[in-house]
Amino acid sequence: MALEELLAAQGLGPRDVAALALYGRLVLEANRHFNVTGARTPEEIARHIADSLSVVPYVKEPYVDVGSGAGFPAIPVGIVTGMPLMLIEATQKKARLLELLLERLELQGVVIAERAESAGHRPELREHFATGTCRAVASAPAVAELLLPLIGLGGAAVLQRGSIDQRERSALEDASLMLGASVECEDEVGGNRRIVLLRKQRATPTRFPRRTWAQKRPLCE
Ligand code: SAM
């Protein structure tokens, strides 16, 4: 089935369908030159887009996405909300693709081509954002450590997860407390996917994110 039809079947309006389909085609084209995402077919791209859009009700400006890869979830969020995007992506080649995608899709945004472990210590980014996402990058406690230093007081880190076992949940709760946040809610969004929202309540101690260990040795795991 064509990407447009798959997207229209998700209940999206014609303007969003056209822009998201262009995005999907650009990603599939880029994938022919280097491995930017595991999605290889219009059906897989449509599934990634649907999963990306599940965060829209939780996202507020200013918005940051960490480990953006080919742009899921941030670029679909930018397309349907018009929000400016801050994309932090460690791989230079993917960061260049993200810049190209922003330009071709006429989206407002900035790409930072570095690891979140260092971006999270930049004064202009630290505790600056109302919402952060970080899809398919690391375990939940590691994602909390990458995102929460970027989130301002009262803001939220929005984690997209599959099933979470008790061990990961309690590691996430403990890590969130160390990072100045707490788990506010866990919402089922269909297809064995859930959104876990971490609400920032206190400043994150300046030693986080740890420059080497945030992903290698996640907090509390
Ligand atoms: N978020 C996209 C998605 O859902 O399709 C990409 C997921 S991909 C599996 C993980 C991406 O995160 C890769 O592009 C990788 O380069 C990036 N990444 C991993 N660790 C990172 C870090 N510490 N800081 C910034 N980017 C990171």
Chain-centroid distance of CA 24 in Å reads: 17
Which residues does a 6 A CB cutoff place in the pocket of ligand 1?
Answer: 37, 66-70, 72, 88-91, 94, 115-117, 135-137, 146, 215
**Cα–Cα nearest to 144, from 131, 159, 124:** 159
- Answer yes or no: is pLDDT of 15 > 90: yes
Question: Is 142 in contact with 176 (CB distance < 8 Å)?
Answer: no
Residue 150 — φ and ψ, nearest 5°? -90, -15
Those residues whose C-beta lies under 8 Å from the C-beta of residue 181, and which sit 6 or more positions away, are 144, 148, 151, 157, 198, 199, 200, 201, 202
The 10s digit of each residue's pLDDT in 101-111 is 999 999 999 99
Residue 37 Cα to ligand 1 midpoint, Å, equals 10
- The radius of gyration of the chain from alpha carbons, rounded to an integer in Å, stands at 17
Residue 33 Cα to ligand 1 midpoint, Å, equals 18
Calculate mean pLDDT across residues 46-59. 97
- pTM beyond cutoff 0.95: yes
